[in-house]
Amino acid sequence: MTTTHSPTPEDWRARVERELGPDRDFEQALVSRTLEGIDVQPLYTAAGAPSEAPAGAVSPRGGGWTIAQRVDHPSPKEANQHLLADLAGGANGCLIQTAGADGGVELEWIHDLDQLLDGVYLEAIPIAFGTNGGALPLAAQLSALCAERDVAPEAVEAHLGMDPFATLAAQGSLPGDLTDARREACELAGHAALHMGRSRALAVDASPWYRAGGHAVQELGYALAAYAEVLRWLTSAGMSPEDADAQLVWRFDVGHDLVTEVAKLRALRLLHAKVLGAFGAVEAAPLVLHATTSPRGLARRDHWTNMLRTTLGAFAASMGGADLITTLPHDRSLGTPSALGRRNARNIQLVLAREARLDHVGDPARGAYAFEARTDALARGAWDLMQGIEAEGGFGAALTAGGVDEALRGSRESLIAELSTRRRPVVGVSVFPPTEDAEPPDQHPLEDPDRDARRARLAARGDVVLGPVDDLPHAIRAAAAGATLEEIGEGLVRGAPLQRPPLPSFREAAVFEDLAPPGADAPAAFLACLGPLSAHSARSAFAEDLLRAGGFSVARSEPDLGPEALGEAFHASGAQVACVCAGKGADAQLEEATCTSLRAAGARFILLARRPSGGEEGVDAAGHTGHIFAGCDAATILEDLRAVAATSSHAEASR
Reported confidence tier of residue 525, pLDDT bands at 50, 70, 90: very high
277 and 297 belong to one structural domain: yes
Q: Residue 619: CB partners within 8 Å, gap ≥ 6? A: 588, 591, 592, 595, 608
Q: What is the CATH number of the domain that holds 218?
A: 3.20.20.240
Reported confidence tier of residue 613, pLDDT bands at 50, 70, 90: confident
What is the chain's mean pLDDT, rounded? 90
pLDDT tens sequence across 124-166 = 999 999 999 989 999 999 999 999 999 999 999 999 999 999 9
409 and 473 belong to one structural domain: no
Which residue type is seen at 335? G
Question: How many angstroms separate the most distant Cα atoms in the chain?
Answer: 97
Owning domain of residue 577: 515-654
CA–CA distance, 81 with 64 (Å, rounded to integer) = 26
Say if residue 370's pLDDT is above 90: yes
95 and 217 belong to one structural domain: no
CA–CA distance, 358 with 361 (Å, rounded to integer) = 5
Reported confidence tier of residue 1, pLDDT bands at 50, 70, 90: low
285 and 364 belong to one structural domain: yes
Say if residue 206's pLDDT is above 50: yes
Domain presence at residue 405 = yes
Nearest residue to 557 (alpha-carbon basis) of 535, 581, 523 = 581
Q: CB 283: neighbour CB atoms within 10 A?
A: 7
Ramachandran region of residue 158, left (φ > 0), alpha (ψ -120 to 50) or beta? beta
Bridging pattern class, strands 32-33 and 39-40: antiparallel
- Total structural domains within the chain: 3
217 and 201 belong to one structural domain: no
DSSP, res 154: G
Domain presence at residue 4 = no
Q: How far apart are the first and last CA of the chain?
A: 90
Ramachandran region of residue 171, left (φ > 0), alpha (ψ -120 to 50) or beta? alpha
Q: At what angle do helices 178-195 and 164-171 cross, to 10 degrees?
A: 130
293 and 314 in contact (C-beta within 8 Å)?
A: yes
Bridging pattern class, strands 577-581 and 524-529: parallel
Alpha-carbon distances of 148 from 145, 153, 209, 279, rounded to whole Å: 5, 11, 39, 40
With 0-12 CB in 10 A as exposed, 13-18 as middle and 19+ as buried, what is 620? exposed
- What is the distance, to the nearest Å, from the Cα of residue 303 to the centroid of all Cα atoms in its chain? 15
Domain presence at residue 45 = no
Domain presence at residue 34 = no
pLDDT score recorded for residue 442: 55
Q: CB 450: neighbour CB atoms within 10 A?
A: 17
pLDDT tens sequence across 269-311 = 999 999 999 999 988 788 999 999 999 999 999 999 999 999 9
Q: Residue 252: CB partners within 8 Å, gap ≥ 6? A: 206, 207, 210, 219, 223, 264, 265, 268, 289, 290, 291, 292, 322
pLDDT score recorded for residue 61: 52
542 and 598 belong to one structural domain: yes
Reported confidence tier of residue 458, pLDDT bands at 50, 70, 90: confident
Domain presence at residue 117 = yes
CA–CA distance, 489 with 177 (Å, rounded to integer) = 13
Which residue type is seen at 7? P
Nearest residue to 290 (alpha-carbon basis) of 328, 336, 325 = 325
587 and 536 belong to one structural domain: yes
165 and 219 belong to one structural domain: no
483 and 588 belong to one structural domain: no
CA–CA distance, 524 with 25 (Å, rounded to integer) = 41
pLDDT score recorded for residue 465: 63
Domain presence at residue 595 = yes
Lowest-pLDDT range, 253-262, 439-448, 490-499, 549-558? 439-448
412 and 276 belong to one structural domain: yes
Domain presence at residue 245 = no
Say if residue 650's pLDDT is above 50: no
Q: Which residues pair with 289 in a beta bridge?
A: 250
- What is the distance, to the nearest Å, from the Cα of residue 586 to the centroid of all Cα atoms in its chain? 44
Q: Residue 199: CB partners within 8 Å, gap ≥ 6? A: 153, 156, 157, 158, 159, 160, 192
273 and 381 belong to one structural domain: yes
Alpha-carbon distances of 638 from 146, 420, 539, 619, 629, rounded to whole Å: 57, 10, 17, 21, 13
Q: Which residues pair with 93 in a beta bridge?
A: 68
Model confidence, pTM: 0.93
257 and 415 in contact (C-beta within 8 Å)?
A: no
CA–CA distance, 128 with 199 (Å, rounded to integer) = 9
What would the mean pLDDT of 255-268 be, rounded to a whole number?
96
Domain presence at residue 177 = yes
CA–CA distance, 366 with 343 (Å, rounded to integer) = 32
Alpha-carbon distances of 468 from 181, 220, 471, 474, rounded to whole Å: 17, 38, 9, 9
187 and 220 belong to one structural domain: no
DSSP, res 3: -
Q: Residue 535: CB partners within 8 Å, gap ≥ 6? A: 582, 583, 586
Reported confidence tier of residue 56, pLDDT bands at 50, 70, 90: very low
Lowest-pLDDT range, 14-18, 287-291, 382-386? 14-18
Q: What is the CATH number of the domain that holds 634?
A: 3.40.50.280
pLDDT score recorded for residue 653: 41
